[in-house]
A and B are shown apart, each in its own frame.
Chain A
Amino acid sequence: MFNVKGKGLVTLTGLTIGALAIALMVAGNPKNMGLCIACFLRDIAGALGLHSAAPVQYVRPEIIGLVLGAFAAALATGSYRAMGGSSALTRFVLGFIGMIGFLVFLGCPLRMLLRMSAGDLNAWLALPGFAAGIAAGVWFINRGFTLGRATRQNNTHGYVFPTMMAALLALLVLGFPLLRASTEGPGSMHAPLLLSLGAGLLVGALAQRTRFCLVGPIRDLIMFRDSYLMFGMAGLFLAALAGNLIVGNFSAGFAGQPVAHTDGLWNFLGMALAGLCFTLVAGCPLRQLVSAAEGNTDSAVTILGVLVGAAFAHNFGLAASPAGASVNGQYAVVAGFILTLGIGFALSGARVLAKGRVTESA
């Protein structure tokens, strides 16, 4: 009943991610952003010129490492399988909208935990928002929400996304001059390449073996009273808390927190929107990256949606800044809720169930 071995490894994964996030911050990554998946995908979007927000452009080797580490682990253990064809465009849109929610809050759930562990009380306010969004997603899933089945694809399709990451790494290492890199702001702050890459590889491999996720812990607790993934989330928080206390990065309060704002309502709503979107696509951005590395091309498309969402968020002033959530960002969150709830209702409920839910066996 209590799988000690399984829970031990997922806890270790969380502890490792938390500790590495603090180590990467000490080694140069921005404060409370040691290993933020949303921030780093946003920085990659900037480095590729998808947006022109000069302070947030850098090809983050952590993301590349994470994908390649998970890819290697999946290949080595025989769990790699190319899959796809489950509502890719809808997943793209949900990744896009969820990313706008993240950038109104200023961080993904990983950064939310890092901020919480550093005493940023704004993030403590975002947590109930995130949980509420996940609970709304669970409500849809329990009413039959589904994006449909993926089908097995030729393995080549699954190699595309890891190859894209490897190509990005090659461009970075070779110093490709057209890649943009911030000279000031968060994008200019980064740990040494090999340390960032190594941390990503380790986290990717561990997360692949344990199915580590930061939407899953709350979702599974609500749906199944299953605490397996919660051990990973708790481990991440505790290791980061210990690390922050050790390196003197703990300071409790709302005002003056690094790369954060004090707009409580929009911190709550931004994470609620993201929680809903990423519950509907079945996993946080980190899990999407790992899943894409395991051959799930739908997850890869979700990540492309996240990248384009980041680009729109910065091109159209939707992303928040330390001054607060922008008016455009507030409209975008409201529009995001309308679209996501529309998708949720359209793909669930009595009508879908009556038609013979695609997920039921014949």
Chain B
Amino acid sequence: MPDVDVCGLVCPEPVLLVKRRIDALGEGAITVLADSEAARENIKRLATGKGWAVRIEEQDDKYLLTLTK
């Protein structure tokens, strides 16, 4: 199970949910499952902007993002 599942959600909800997790955690690792290019790119921009490293794997037609700091 990913920590945050944003599949089926449109902006800004995916970014908001990931931001809340990032803010709560401070540092560590978070996995996010997204199913749209828009959510993938917006989450990537949020996370890198906050100094987290982002790794993206494609799974079927979804994206698993691993954020680490």
Contacts and interface: CB of A to CB of B under 8 A. Distances in A.
Contacts of A149: 7-9
A15 to B, nearest CB: 20
A351 interface: no
B53 interface: no
Interface in A209-242: 211, 216, 219-220, 223-224, 226, 228
Interface residues of B, number: 29
A201 interface: no
Contact of A223 (B12, B17, B49): B12
Interface stretch (A55-63, A78-86, A156-164, A267-275): A78-86
A151 interface: yes
Nearest to B8: A149
B8 A151 contact: yes
A146 interface: yes
A219 B9 CA distance: 16
Contacts of A152: 8, 35, 61
Chain A interface residue number, banded: 20 to 34
A171 to B, nearest CB: 31
Contacts of A361: 1-5, 17
Nearest to A228: B45
B7 to A, nearest CB: 7
A80 to B, nearest CB: 9
Interface in B31-54: 35-38, 41-42, 45-46, 48-49, 51
Given A81-B35, A359-B13, A359-B17, A226 B8 contact: no
Given A86-B10, A149-B9, 7 more contacts: A3-B48, A77-B37, A149-B8, A150-B9, A226-B15, A282-B12, A359-B6
The 9 closest A-B pairs by CB, nearest first: A149-B8, A79-B37, A361-B5, A150-B8, A282-B10, A211-B38, A361-B4, A359-B13, A1-B49
Interface of A: 1, 3, 6, 77, 79, 81, 83, 85-86, 141-142, 146, 149-152, 211, 216, 219-220, 223-224, 226, 228, 282-283, 291, 296, 359-362
8 contacts: A1-B51, A85-B8, A86-B10, A149-B8, A152-B35, A223-B12, A223-B15, A228-B45
